[in-house]
């Protein structure tokens, strides 16, 4: 039972290198999508796993449909190679907290489950992100402050107009959300590829649609009974501005969580990265 690890990366290459090394196992193939904005790409040397750097690269923007497009490029490329029982979608600042022996044994037991990580949500957030037209998302987080502020202002104006005029889209459509970092079967990937055109049309003007499209689409499909919300799939703690970056002082907390993966890490604290890498060396 081979696994495909699908990684979306755009920075923190020191962490990414440790992630790749931790997945370097004969039972794995690793696929990396680098953001198209990158001018030069890092090189990694591994011994056991297959390593594939995607030639088709998406210009990924926060909250934008481009995030879903990047996931699709990874799913398509890995599925063409075939032969995988599970596809794990990770970011370049993930790290495993368990060994590959442990992870493979667990998913051997889970077999046909589509494994998702629960994320708290409410109806207001769902309506805002999925049932309004979210224009101006491409440059919502642009590095130029003036461009960013202008697009955020225009976005707010459009949302306000829609609220005043009671404008909704896909009002009767079922939506569920989860972390966009998932572990899914070949059956799930095949289904997602089958409905790709519909998905890209349906989620075009959403906000952070990547957190909704997989749980929503498989949740309203023949795969719905196979969904498993697993609280030990991913350790990710949110602060006021987004996911916390873990440091060495979090080491015991991370291991006590008993999660399979954690996010996120930074080259600014490689001590925790190196210590976790030592912890998950092959058993025996």
In a domain, 139, yes or no: yes
- The string of pLDDT tens digits covering residues 135-192 is 999 999 999 999 999 999 999 999 999 999 999 999 889 999 999 999 999 999 999 9
CA neighbor of 13 nearest in space, from 92, 96, 95: 92
pLDDT grade for 282, boundaries at 50, 70 and 90: low
Residues 13 and 153 in one domain: no
Q: Provide, rounded to the nearest whole percent, the portion of the chain with pLDDT above 90.
A: 90
In a domain, 243, yes or no: yes
Residues 13 and 147 in one domain: no
Residues 106 and 184 in one domain: yes
pLDDT grade for 4, boundaries at 50, 70 and 90: very high
In a domain, 170, yes or no: no
Residues 101 and 222 in one domain: yes
Residues 20 and 160 in one domain: no
d(CA 116, CA 179): 7
- The string of pLDDT tens digits covering residues 59-98 is 999 999 999 999 999 999 999 998 899 999 999 999 999 9
pLDDT of 284 reads 44
In a domain, 104, yes or no: yes
151: domain range?
133-165
pLDDT grade for 275, boundaries at 50, 70 and 90: very high
Residues 155 and 52 in one domain: no
Contact (Cβ atoms closer than 8 angstroms) between residue 186 and residue 84: yes
pLDDT grade for 239, boundaries at 50, 70 and 90: confident
In a domain, 263, yes or no: yes
In a domain, 126, yes or no: no
d(CA 24, CA 227): 28
What do you get for the CA distance between the two ends of the chain, in Å? 21
Mean pLDDT value across residues 33-46: 93
- Token pair of 141 as six digits: 């987080």
**Phi and psi angles of residue 226, each rounded to the nearest 5 degrees, phi first:** -95, -5
Residues 17 and 65 in one domain: yes
Q: What CATH number is given to the structural domain containing 115? A: 3.90.550
């Amino acid at each position: 039972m081979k696994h495909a690890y699908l990684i979306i990366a755009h920075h923190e290459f020191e962490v990414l290198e440790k992630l790749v090394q931790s997945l370097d196992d004969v039972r794995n193939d690793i696929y990396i999508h680098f953001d198209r904005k990158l001018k030069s790409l890092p090189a990694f040397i591994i011994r056991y796993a297959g390593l594939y750097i995607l030639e088709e690269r998406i210009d990924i923007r926060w909250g934008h449909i481009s995030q879903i497009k990047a996931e699709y490029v990874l799913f398509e490329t890995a599925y063409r190679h075939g032969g995988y029982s599970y596809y794990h979608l990770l970011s370049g600042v993930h790290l495993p907290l368990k060994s590959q022996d442990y992870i493979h044994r667990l998913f051997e037991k889970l077999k046909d489950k589509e494994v998702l990580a629960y994320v708290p949500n409410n109806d207001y957030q769902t309506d805002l992100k999925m049932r309004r037209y979210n224009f101006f998302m491409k440059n919502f987080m642009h590095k130029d402050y003036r461009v960013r502020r202008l697009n955020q202002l225009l976005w707010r104006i459009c949302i306000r107009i829609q609220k005043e005029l009671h404008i909704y889209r896909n009002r009767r459509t079922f939506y569920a959300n989860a972390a966009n970092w998932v572990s899914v079967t070949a059956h799930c990937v095949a289904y997602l590829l089958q409905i790709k055109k519909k998905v890209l049309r349906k989620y075009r003007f959403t906000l952070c649609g990547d957190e909704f499209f997989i749980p929503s689409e498989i949740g309203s499909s023949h795969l719905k009974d196979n969904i498993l919300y697993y609280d030990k799939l991913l350790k990710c703690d949110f602060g006021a501005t987004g996911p916390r970056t873990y440091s060495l002082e979090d080491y015991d907390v991370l291991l006590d969580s008993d999660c399979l993966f954690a996010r996120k890490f930074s080259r600014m604290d490689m001590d925790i990265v190196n210590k976790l890498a030592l912890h998950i060396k092959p058993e025996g």
